Amino acid sequence: MKLYLKIWRQKNADSKGSMVDYTLDGVESDMSFLEMLDILNEELISKGEEPVEFDHDCREGICGTCSLMINGQPHGPDSRITVCQLHMRSFNDGDEIVIEPWRATAFPIIKDLIVDRSAFDRIQQAGGYISVNTSGRPVDANAIPIEKEMADKSFNAATCIGCGACVAACKNASAMLFTSAKVSQFALLPQGQVEAAERVQNMVRQMDLEGFGNCTNTGACEVECPKGISLENIARMNREYLSASVKG
C-alpha cells in the first residue's frame, strides 16, 4: 500500500510549524498506525533526516499517550480506539493522510506531534484524590456497601485515560468531559463525599486557570472519546459545583 502523508513538523515550542509531505510505500494492512510511523522514521533516519516526533507508550490502548489528529478526527476514523489500536486496513492504497497534533491553547506543542498535556495533571492534582485522615484502623473499602448502579457509574468514569481527545474534538477546546469524569469517579462513592465540595471547586477552578474553553453541549467529546465517557458526567459535575457554591 502506498500512502501520501501530510505531517505537521515543528522544531520546538517557539518555532513556526508547517505541514510536510511524505510518500511511504510498502505499508501493510495489518500494521498499526504507529508502526507505519515507525517505518517512516526508519526511512528518514536512513536518509540522515530528522524523524517525526510523536508520543507513545503502552501501545495497548490503555495510556492515551499516542494521541493524534488524523484527517481532522481525534485518534482517526475508527471509534472507541486510540491511535495505537488503529490499523492501516482502515485506509486504502493511494490515500492521503493528514496527521496533526492536538490543537488547543492549553496543550502547547513541544515538537512535531507532541503536545504538553500537563494541564490535565494539574487539574487532577487540584482535587482528584481522597485524602481524608482516619483515626484508628480504617475500614476496608470493600466493607463499605455501595449500590451497584453507583459503583458501575464510578467505574465507567474512572476509565478515562486523559488522552485529550475530548479537548481536541471540542470547538471550544473544553476539558469538561475529562474534569467531570475525574470528579464523578469520587462523587459517586461514599469515600469521596467528605471532600466532594472542595474537590469540584478546586478542579473546576484549575481547569479554568489552564485556559480551556467552555462547554456548549455539542457532544463531540463523547463521540470521539476512546473510552466512551458519558456527557452525564458533565451534568453531574455542574450539579456538584452549583451545590458546593451555594453551600460555600
Contact 141, 189 (CB under 8 A): no
CB of 224 closer than 8 Å to CB of 72: no
Shared domain for 51 and 137, answered yes or no, is no
**Same domain for 124 and 242?**
yes
Domain match, 79 and 128 both: no
Of 110, 145, 172, the one marking the end of a domain is 110
Query: Does one domain contain both 241 and 127?
Result: yes
User: Residue 137's pLDDT band (boundaries 50, 70, 90)?
Assistant: confident
pLDDT tens-digit series, residues 87-107: 999 999 999 999 999 999 999
| pLDDT tens-digit readout, 153-196 | 999 999 999 999 999 999 999 999 999 999 999 999 988 998 99
- What is the residue range of 242's domain? 118-247
Q: What pLDDT digit, counting tens, does each position of 198-223 carry?
A: 999 999 999 999 999 999 999 999 99
Residues 99, 161: one domain?
no
What is the greatest pairwise CA distance in the chain? 67
Residue ending a domain, choose from 110, 127, 162: 110
Share of the chain above pLDDT 70, in %: 97
DSSP bridge partners of 8: 19
pLDDT of residue 135: 62
Burial 131-166 (b: 16+ CB within 10 A, else e): eeeeeeeeeeeeeeeeeeeeeebbebbbebbbbbbb
Is pTM beyond 0.85 here?
yes
User: For position 97, which CATH number holds?
Assistant: 3.10.20.30
Q: Which residue would you say has higher pLDDT here, 82 or 145?
A: 82
At residue 37, the 3 state secondary structure works out as: helix
Q: How many domains are contained in the chain? A: 2
Q: Is the pLDDT of residue 28 over 80?
A: yes
pLDDT band for 134, please (50, 70, 90 cuts): low
Residues 80 and 140 in one domain: no
Antiparallel, parallel or unpaired: β 3-9 and 96-100: parallel
In order of 4, 36, 59, 148, the CA distances from 26 in angstroms are: 12, 10, 22, 50
